[in-house]
């Protein structure tokens, strides 16, 4: 395990690196969700058998600085394009929740370095009618309700990892350092995504531009964004495959790490039928 810095233009981001532990020979860029990927997450070693994991913290999250004027999804998308340009060939991008939105934006814009795309319970698009809420409000919903909706069983949350409803995990044992990090993450997430809440109204029109093999994974018990939303999301990406992970909510990589990595591994072994 190592945690170091990753340079992207003028920015130096905190980044977790893991692997490769196998003969994957590829880079896996993890684009995190509401909180940076925890080094304690069990899926990391399993996934590192398939490539070298690079998991930066977005500006404002974890220990990554955020320049004053860096405060929109537009900034994040260009930052990740810049990061991709700096990585070796054949990058697999895995976007989780909010990070799935970033990954979808990057993929829709196209990148020569992007080899395959995995979206895991992503947000980012508006599908329902104007009086239907596709995405449970992250900031206006009670932490207890978020926690209930984010997990198949909240007891499955691995110690030291935090998903939506993280506020319910605060207890006397939590360190000041962890609380400060969670507060930074929450503030930054809000800055980027308060309004429209967690989506770009135009993105659904441009998902058709995604030209790499894509897998859309969904926790069967996700009640933040439902599997129905996920199926429709997937259907907008040409050739994308949709798969559900049982007994998992909004964070299947945390709740069912083995099943999550198995899905990804199978997808990475599939021959690419596109661009042939």
Partner 1 sequence: MELWNHCENPYPFVPHEVLDQAESVRASLPNKYCDPKVAARLYDEIFDEYRLCDDIGIHIVTNEHHSGINNLWAASPVITGVVARITRNVRILTLGTLVTVRPDPVRVAEEYATIDVLSKGRLEIGFVKSGATEMVSGDANPMRIREREWEAIDLIEKALVTQDGPFSWEGKFFTHPHVNIWPRPYQEPRPDFWAATSDLPTCAELGRRGFVNTLLFGGYDRTRQAFDAYKAARAAAGLAPPGEDRLSYMAFAYVGDTDEEGIRIGQKIAWFLTVSIKSAPQFAKFQPGAVVPEMAPLAWRAGASRRPTNLDAEVLIGQGQMFAGNPDTVARQIKEFRRRVGGVGHIIMMTRQGLVTHAEAEKSFTLASRDLLPQLQDLPPIDSDETAWAARREAAAK
Is position 2 an interface residue for partner 1 (rule: CB under 8 A)? no
> Is the C-alpha dihedral spanning 204, 13, 150, 143 positive or negative?
negative
Report, in Å, the least distance between residue 71 CB and partner 1.
8
Hey, which residues between 192 and 231 contact partner 1 (CB under 8 A)? Answer: 194-195
Hey, which residues between 104 and 163 contact partner 1 (CB under 8 A)? Answer: 139-143
Exactly one of 3, 111, 167, 211 binds partner 1 (CB under 8 A); that residue is 167
What is the per-residue burial (b if ≥16 Cβ within 10 Å, else e) of 238-266?
eebebebbeebbbbbbbbbbebbbebbee
Strand ranges (E), the chain: 2-8, 11-18, 27-31, 52-56, 91-96, 114-120, 214-219, 241-245
Q: Which residues contact 37 (CB under 8 A, 6 or more apart)?
A: 16, 30, 44, 55, 96
Is position 191 an interface residue for partner 1 (rule: CB under 8 A)? yes
Is position 172 an interface residue for partner 1 (rule: CB under 8 A)? yes
Q: What DSSP state is assigned to residue 137?
A: -
Is position 176 an interface residue for partner 1 (rule: CB under 8 A)? yes
Report, in Å, the least distance between residue 183 CB and partner 1.
4
Angle of helix 176-193 versus helix 73-86 axis, rounded to 10: 110
* Max CA distance (Å), the chain: 57
C-alpha to C-alpha distances, 177 to 88, 183, 228, nearest whole angstrom: 33, 10, 38
Hey, which residues between 62 and 81 contact partner 1 (CB under 8 A)? Answer: 69, 71
Question: In terms of CB distance, is 47 or 146 closer to partner 1?
Answer: 146
Size of the site for partner 1 (CB under 8 A): 24
Is position 190 an interface residue for partner 1 (rule: CB under 8 A)? yes
Q: At 34, is the secondary structure helix, strand, or coil?
A: coil
Distance of alpha carbon 6 from alpha carbon 135, whole angstroms: 31
State how beta strands 241-245 and 114-120 pair.
Answer: unpaired
- The stretch among 38-46, 74-82, 115-123, 170-178 that binds partner 1 (CB under 8 A) is 170-178
- The stretch among 82-90, 156-164, 179-187, 242-250 that binds partner 1 (CB under 8 A) is 179-187
Report, in Å, the least distance between residue 145 CB and partner 1.
9
- The stretch among 99-107, 182-190, 239-247, 255-263 that binds partner 1 (CB under 8 A) is 182-190
Report, in Å, the least distance between residue 6 CB and partner 1.
22
Binding site for partner 1 (CB under 8 A): 69, 71, 139-143, 167, 170, 172, 176, 179-184, 186-187, 189-191, 194-195
């Amino acid at each position: 395990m190592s945690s170091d810095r990753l340079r992207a233009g003028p920015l130096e981001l905190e980044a977790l690196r893991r692997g490769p532990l196998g003969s994957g020979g590829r880079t896996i860029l993890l684009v995190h969700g509401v909180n940076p990927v925890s080094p304690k997450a069990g899926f990391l070693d399993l996934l590192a058998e398939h490539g070298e994991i690079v998991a930066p913290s977005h500006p404002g999250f974890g220990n990554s600085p955020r320049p004053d004027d860096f405060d929109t999804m537009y900034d994040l998308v260009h930052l990740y394009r810049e990061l991709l340009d700096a990585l070796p060939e054949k990058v697999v991008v895995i976007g989780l929740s909010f990070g799935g939105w970033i990954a979808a934006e990057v993929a829709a814009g196209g990148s020569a370095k992007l080899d395959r795309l995995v979206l895991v319970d992503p947000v980012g698009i508006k599908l329902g009618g104007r009086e239907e809420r596709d995405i449970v409000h992250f900031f206006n919903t009670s932490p207890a309700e978020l926690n209930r909706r984010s997990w198949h069983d909240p007891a499955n949350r691995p110690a030291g990892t935090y998903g939506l409803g993280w506020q319910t995990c605060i207890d006397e044992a939590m360190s000041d350092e962890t609380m400060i990090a969670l507060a930074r993450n929450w503030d930054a997430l809000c800055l980027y995504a308060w309004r429209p809440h967690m989506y770009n109204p135009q993105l659904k029109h441009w998902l058709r531009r995604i030209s790499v093999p894509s897998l859309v994974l969904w926790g069967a018990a996700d009640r933040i964004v439902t599997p129905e939303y996920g199926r429709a999301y997937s259907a907008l990406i040409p050739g994308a495959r949709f798969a559900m992970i049982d007994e998992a909510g909004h964070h299947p990589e945390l709740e069912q790490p083995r099943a999550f990595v198995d899905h990804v591994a199978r997808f990475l072994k599939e021959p690419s039928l596109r661009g042939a």
